[in-house]
A and B are shown apart, each in its own frame.
Chain A
Amino acid sequence: MRRKFKDLPLRGVVLATALAVLTACGPKEPASEGGTPDLRRLTEEQYRNTIADVFGPTITYGGRFDPLQRTDGLIALGARTARVTPSGFEQYYALADSISAQVVDEAHRETLVACKPASATAADDACAQAFFGEIGRVLYRRPLTDGEIKTAVTAAHEVGTTTGDFYQGLAYGLAGMMTTPKFLFVVDATEPDPDHQGQVRLTSYAHASRLSFLLWNSAPDDMLLTAAEKGELYSKSGLEKQIERMVASPKVEGGVRAFFTDFLDLRKFETLQKDPVIYPAFNAKTGEDAKEQILRTITDHVATRDLDYRDLFTTRRTFLTPALARIYKVPAGRPDGGWTDYEFPDKDLRGGLLSQIGFLAVNAHPGRSSPTIRGRAIRETLLCQKVPDPPGNVDFSLFNDPDSPNKTARQRLTTHATNPTCAGCHKITDPIGLGLENFDGVGSLRMAENGEAIDPAGDLDGVAFKDPAGLAKAMRKSPAAPTCLVNRLYAYALGRPIETSDKDTVAYFQQVFARDGYRVPQLLRRIAGSDAFFKVRPPKADAATQAATNDSAPKENPS
């Protein structure tokens, strides 16, 4: 059985040596201007991960979060312009109320509240101070200031005294902490850069947050905060030590899943509906499984087995549940439920991400396939190319005519595209999307539509293919695919859109990604260990933002 690299002895030495050799021999990271500091609202997943990391998995809660706007191809970029609406705040408060009540209940207080009050029926400021100091450090991702601790302790004191219940007071103070922007927003706190006069740099704790949310999609743990406290993240060796520790952690899978969920816009599954008369085998559970299948396939390929990212477009290895197996028309490994691995035969038309139900069903209509939607998704999501929106007055009558002699989507689209207004964009999308016409609106294999044979031939940027397997190979060879991944991952890591000034840095990461054999974990290491990842520049004449940023910034070394 193959051992995971992280389990090998001396892996740190090997990695460090490899990285040093690569760095020495390969291209040098160019200087970066960095971006302006931002505030980013925690995503729902980050919120949940943080709560699970801090309080454990036995704290349960429901609730919904205000949705984030997908911007420049990523939800992560929408987080920087997100606000908290009044109803959204109510939700946050309800969540905080529920979570804090559980943290102090009799089932959890022994393990989650480190100190014991002198009396459970009266306020105990010393115990409260110890609790808020410890928990607040992880929630705020930095040590609390004296003022912040005092605010929480005072609130706990008043409620504890009024109710005659120390733990109620503690819960009240905790709920207050969890509803402040300091918890709900990740702040790019800055400080003057001592090495560069007139410039700013991220604080050590902001370093830790960037690392943690990139690699784990969660808040920094105690070790990372301690490293930040000691200033170790400012040194190359200290930073690399933390990166290696984090990449070796099982939590890195959460980071990989979060990025690909965002990159592939898997949020679409939340609202995915199919016509149950046309596709009786597809239901909400199938949709959940299809999303999970994509994520399992990706994490297995890029993280667990550390394989070439480009091979994701052709890999025949995947994972199935009975609900998915039914649509793929293959046997389920466990008919009673659960996941099993599966490998499509070598000459099967199916292989790679594009032929998975998750991609095919999401990028289709409720009752039929859509070469245009699928082609657009490939262009925009996987190749980072912009396809213009259709005009508002587009005439679909020829396409949708039920009496049309056109039986296949190719025939209907050919008729539809006789309109020159439509033809331009359809030329961009359809030759790719038609390559997936062997898969119906939920992704089941078919060779004919309305009794007429499907012609799945097409081309991707000049590379001709004759069937879905050919399209998969064309995607595998497309230079735009890995380039797109690098662009999106870098923007995701920074939490801001790529700017013109980032051009050289992005080109550098594209080069090293290729040199590293298109390995995503190594790309994560490269980005996390780069100067550009932490580089910030002062905001331009935006006094209000600067003031807010500085207010939120922790005082370094509060001890």
Chain B
Amino acid sequence: MSLRRSVLTLSILGLCACFAAPVAAADGGTLGFVVREWYIALHESKFMDECPEGLTMGNDEIWWRSAPKDFRAKVTDNGLARSSIRYYEVMDRGKNGEDVCLNPTSIVDPPLRVVEGKIGYGHNIDGTQDGHATAKTCKHDKFQSPDGKKTDIDNQMARLVGCSFGWRKTGMIQLNGNEVRATSGYGMVLMEVTGVNEKDPRNSDNVTVTFYRSIDQFAMDSAGQPLPFSTYRIDTLDGKPRYSDSLKGKITNGVLTTERGDVRLPAYDNFNFGHPTIKDMAVTLEIAADGSAGKGMVSGYYDVEEFWYLTAGVGQVLQTGQFSCPAMYVAAHKLADGYPDPKTGECTHLSVGYNVKAYAAFVQHPDKERRQATR
């Protein structure tokens, strides 16, 4: 794969929006992006209409309300004890002292408050208009877009976490996850679009989008924002890319749209690593006129147990999340709408839509790595 293709096509893509660049068609068309922002797409109204009963109770609140006053006073030393002491008391409230996040079935908490509003973001993943059960899905409710034009949106993950403080805009779970990815360089997703039409790259009928992991950290400006057109090397194992699933797609008027397919991705959320496979994943990405960035949506089905592994393993960040692990675990299974278990018939995956923002990047393949400095 030639890096030079990326150069020319990126230039052309940016420039074609307004003026034809005097750059001749090159030997191939490739675009590259590094994904910077990856948030579950939540609809948060001004007066929290989507959560009519308010935000859900957290582990700490449930413990506080259920513990006798004298016991609370003893544990917290009347408020003088370190919060970490209280944290472990809260988490280890399983019947036999289990951590209720690592073992969410050890007790039963009051039900999780989930999104009850009609409005949401995402794609129609199951292909139905009303969310009825199919061979691959379970019956579920659909969201409609804020403008009401789309009424077939699947996003059960947003329904699950949308009334939990830690997942919303002011919470820390998603924000911190994105920031630690930015500062650590772990779990960085690269997208490479090949087969781009050289003469009209903003309209390419047959492209392939391949997903890699970067081993280079984000190149940032002094304000902490990624610098477009930076170069990133892909992660390899035995000389081959460690992640390299791809999707077919097209670019129409600068908007990249892919077909659906399973994609294994690197994940790093709040100090916890994973490599989930998002089933039936698809991407829409609106590429900026100057080619420097793109923003859009990634949707698909996310394994509930994988979600729980990444969620429960984040440690003390959970303390800021203010949701009950046992309650969320139960709700996750209840809301799961994809991939029914053949034995039980219960769905094992949650539909999800992520808002993503990516920056133009050059994706460097192993054969181009470590070019010898000439001097």
Contacts and interface: CB of A to CB of B under 8 A. Distances in A.
A127 interface: no
A335 B230 contact: yes
Contact of A332 (B15, B26, B231, B374): B231
B196 to A, nearest CB: 16
Contact of B4 (A322, A345, A347, A453): A345
A339 B18 contact: no
A451 interface: yes
A219 B374 CA distance: 29
A281 B6 contact: no
A334 interface: yes
A326 B230 CA distance: 5
Nearest to B220: A280
Nearest to B223: A280
Nearest to B24: A347
A100 B7 CA distance: 52
Interface in B15-57: 15, 18-19, 21-24, 26
A331 B234 CA distance: 14
A331 B222 contact: no
Nearest to A467: B22
B3 A331 contact: yes
B20 to A, nearest CB: 8
A326 B219 contact: yes
A134 interface: no
A332 B227 CA distance: 13
Contact of A453 (B10, B19, B227): B19
B11 interface: yes
A339 B221 contact: no
Contacts of A339: 373-375
B371 A345 contact: no
Nearest to A339: B373
A299 to B, nearest CB: 9
A338 B373 contact: yes
A340 interface: yes
Residue of A281, A322, A333, A339 with highest tally of chain B CB at under 10 A: A333
Given A331-B364, A347-B24, A340 B371 contact: yes
Given A348-B23, A447-B19, A300 B375 contact: yes
Given A280-B222, A447-B15, A334 B373 contact: yes
A322 B231 contact: yes
A329 B221 contact: no
Interface string A264-289: 00000000000010001101000000
B374 A345 contact: no
Contact of A329 (B11, B232, B372): B11
Given A280-B221, A280-B222, A325-B231, A451 B371 contact: no
B375 A319 contact: yes
Interface in A293-337: 296, 300, 319, 322, 325-327, 329-336
B233 interface: yes
Contact of A281 (B15, B221, B232, B368): B221
B302 interface: no
Contacts of A453: 18-19
A107 B19 CA distance: 64
B222 A335 contact: no
Contact of B227 (A280, A334, A451): A280
Given A447-B18, A451-B18, A331 B362 contact: yes
A212 B137 CA distance: 82
B316 interface: no
A347 B22 CA distance: 8
Contacts of A329: 7, 10-11, 229
Contacts of B230: 322, 325-326, 332, 335
B216 interface: yes
Given A276-B223, A445-B11, A448-B19, A336 B4 contact: no
Interface in A397-451: 445, 447-448, 451
A329 B15 CA distance: 13
Contacts of B265: none
Contacts of A296: 375
A407 B221 CA distance: 28
A372 B100 CA distance: 70
Contacts of A334: 370-371, 373
Residue of B10, B222, B228, B362 with highest tally of chain A CB at under 10 A: B362
A447 B21 contact: yes
A507 interface: no
A453 B18 CA distance: 8
A480 interface: no
A276 B222 contact: yes
Contacts of A467: 22
A322 B373 CA distance: 12
Nearest to B214: A335
A341 interface: yes
Contacts of A341: 374
Contact of A326 (B4, B22, B229, B373): B229
Contacts of B23: 345, 347-349
A326 B292 CA distance: 11
B369 to A, nearest CB: 8
A56 B11 CA distance: 47
A323 to B, nearest CB: 8
B222 A336 contact: no
Nearest to A447: B19
B137 to A, nearest CB: 42
Nearest to A321: B373
Nearest to A276: B222
A162 to B, nearest CB: 50
A336 B215 CA distance: 10
A326 to B, nearest CB: 5
Contacts of A281: 221, 227-229
Contacts of A333: 368, 371, 373
Contacts of B375: 296, 300, 319, 339
Interface in A336-356: 336, 338-341, 345, 347-349
B173 interface: no
A401 B232 CA distance: 41
Residue of A334, A339, A453 with highest tally of chain B CB at under 10 A: A334
Given A281-B227, A300-B375, A345-B26, A322 B219 contact: yes
A472 B18 CA distance: 26
B221 A332 contact: no
Interface in B204-239: 216, 219, 221-223, 225, 227-233
B8 interface: yes
Nearest to B232: A335
Contacts of B229: 281, 325-327, 329-330
Residue of A335, A345, A448 with highest tally of chain B CB at under 10 A: A335
A428 B8 CA distance: 35
Contacts of B368: 331, 333
A325 B219 CA distance: 12
A19 to B, nearest CB: 29
Contact of A340 (B19, B221, B374): B374
Contacts of B4: 331, 345
Contacts of B228: 281, 326
A228 B221 CA distance: 54
A467 B19 CA distance: 15
Given A347-B24, A348-B23, A336 B216 contact: yes
10 contacts: A280-B221, A300-B375, A331-B3, A331-B6, A331-B362, A331-B368, A335-B231, A339-B374, A340-B371, A347-B22
**10 closest A-B pairs (Cβ-Cβ)?**
A280-B221, A331-B362, A331-B3, A332-B231, A333-B371, A335-B231, A341-B374, A329-B229, A447-B19, A347-B24
Given A329-B229, A333-B368, 18 more contacts: A276-B222, A281-B227, A281-B228, A296-B375, A322-B231, A325-B229, A325-B230, A325-B231, A329-B7, A332-B362, A332-B364, A333-B373, A334-B370, A334-B373, A447-B19, A447-B21, A448-B18, A451-B18
